[in-house]
Amino acid sequence: MKDLNGGVTLAQGFTANGLWSGIKKSGKPDVSLIFSEIPAVAAGVFTKNSIVAAPLVVTKQKIKNNKAQAIITNSGNANCFTGKQGLGHAKKTCDIFSKLLHISSRDVLVSSTGIIGKPLPFDKIKNSAAKLVEGLSKTKATLAAKGILTTDLATKEIAVAINVGGKKAYIGAMAKGSGMIAPNMATMLAYITTDLAINAKMLKIALKSACEQSFNSITIDNCMSTNDMVIVLANGLAKNKMITKQGKDFTIFQKALNHICLDLAKKIVKDGEGATKFITVTVKGAKNYAQAKTAALAIANSNLVKTAAYGSNPNWGRVAAAVGSLALPVNEKQLKITFSPFEKKDISICAQLKLGQAKATIYTSDLSPEYVEINGKYN
């Protein structure tokens, strides 16, 4: 599948923008807007953390009607653990942009990312709103992608084209994420736009499946965040026959969505805070997928395995200990561990359990002194 330029604005009917509102001291873009010219079918996946940021409370409520037309994001402040004031700010943000865009406030989704526990500088978002809307363009996808970054070192964008029922449709996406990365989900935001015509039921099925093998299969530090979401908007402007069930057209879309989500997930890991190595952990021969994934996560989240990778030291004993910590019915005669060369930037670790036929893959990074430095001074 060929990757294209254009990000979230490649699909018909989508525009975007990003700019600096004054939230970040660095002067880098800190607000971002994605807009569909017509209401779109919407689906979302959210963090399972019980401490949930105000914008997630608002967005999860709004998306229940399976429809949205705009997504507004600020970076530099998570608007989390901010009480009634934070919740009010999230709602008011939606109201402001709904008026400027001339759409229902119900169709504006909101998200935030950044430091937890500090009041959202709402006036800065309010004062920049008109300029953000006025600057919406097909050419500003990358500016929008920059507006959602925190400790990221690079933007994360991708787009592809698919042919469905004789019609060409486009799928574009952007994401952020660098630290506090663990399944269910991570300190990450991902937005996917498409002009495909698909109903809400099938869009939800596709997104959940794609996230399971991508955003929910990465870990950097095993720390779950409070603000994470993945949102997909499908506005139907490709004019293909509406996808309402499993079949050839749905399979084509699912394959493309899987590709997009996995690409973004890998980019998040490669941009992990302090990361110097990209590690693919595969567990084979498990009784079922859940067991394989649990074992792969145990290996990927082991600080001893991660520091061994940083030091280019293929210490297989650390992998064996990580698997053994799960108390699986595996002995040293059964367990087989293989490595790719540890001195390279991309490393693979494989553990064979010989308990069945299932397998799972997790993507992670090494643990370096820079990770400690970044997070020790984060706020």
Tens digit of pLDDT for each residue in 292-309? 999 999 999 999 999 999
Indicate whether 291 belongs to any domain.
yes
Indicate whether 2 belongs to any domain.
no
Indicate whether 1 belongs to any domain.
no
Average pLDDT over residues 306-319: 94
Give the CATH number, domain containing residue 161.
Answer: 3.60.70.12
If asked whether residues 282 and 256 sit together in one domain, one would say no
Q: How many percent of the chain have pLDDT more than 90?
A: 85
187 catalytically annotated: yes
- SS3 at position 189: strand
Higher pLDDT among residues 178 and 241, named by residue: 241
Q: Look at residue 50 in the predicted model and tell me its pLDDT.
A: 84
Using alpha carbons, select from 219, 215, 225, 223 the residue that is nearest to residue 79.
225
Residues spanned by the domain of 338: 278-376
If asked whether residues 300 and 178 sit together in one domain, one would say no
Q: Look at residue 339 in the predicted model and tell me its pLDDT.
A: 96
The rounded distance, in Å, linking the Cα atoms of 292 and 51 is: 28
Residue 299, φ and ψ in degrees, nearest 5: -70, -50
pTM of the model: 0.93
Give the CATH number, domain containing residue 354.
Answer: 3.10.20.340
pLDDT band at 370 (very low <50, low <70, confident <90, very high): confident
Q: How many CB atoms lie within 10 A of CB 373?
A: 12
pLDDT tens digits for range 126-148: 999 999 999 999 999 999 999 99
Q: Look at residue 187 in the predicted model and tell me its pLDDT.
A: 57
Q: Look at residue 109 in the predicted model and tell me its pLDDT.
A: 98
If asked whether residues 209 and 348 sit together in one domain, one would say no
Q: Is the pLDDT confidence value at 98 over 70? A: yes
Residue 163, φ and ψ in degrees, nearest 5: -110, 120
| Cα angle value 112/19/115 (rounded, 5°) | 30
Peptide bond into 185 cis (omega under 30): yes
User: Residue 261 in contact with residue 45, Cβ under 8 Å?
Assistant: no
Final residue of a structural domain among 270, 298, 323: 270
Site of tokens 């890991």: 269
- The number of domains in the chain is 2
Q: Measure Cα distances from 21 to 7, 128, 192, 319 in Å.
A: 22, 6, 24, 46
Average pLDDT over residues 155-169: 97
Cα 94 versus chain centre, distance: 22
Average pLDDT over residues 38-59: 94
Indicate whether 35 belongs to any domain.
yes
If asked whether residues 232 and 297 sit together in one domain, one would say no
User: Residue 68 in contact with residue 100, Cβ under 8 Å?
Assistant: no
Higher pLDDT among residues 249 and 48, named by residue: 249
User: In sequence order, what DSSP letters do the residues of 290-301 get, joined into one string?
Assistant: HHHHHHHHHHHT
Q: Look at residue 220 in the predicted model and tell me its pLDDT.
A: 76
What pairs with residue 318 in β-bridges?
A: none
If asked whether residues 221 and 359 sit together in one domain, one would say no
Q: Look at residue 182 in the predicted model and tell me its pLDDT.
A: 52
- SS3 at position 59: helix
Catalytic residue among 9, 59, 187, 361: 187
If asked whether residues 224 and 288 sit together in one domain, one would say no
Higher pLDDT among residues 226 and 316, named by residue: 316
User: Residue 295 in contact with residue 328, Cβ under 8 Å?
Assistant: yes
Final residue of a structural domain among 240, 270, 300: 270
Site of tokens 């308990």: 355
If asked whether residues 185 and 117 sit together in one domain, one would say yes
User: Residue 83 in contact with residue 138, Cβ under 8 Å?
Assistant: no
Final residue of a structural domain among 270, 290, 317: 270
- SS3 at position 270: helix
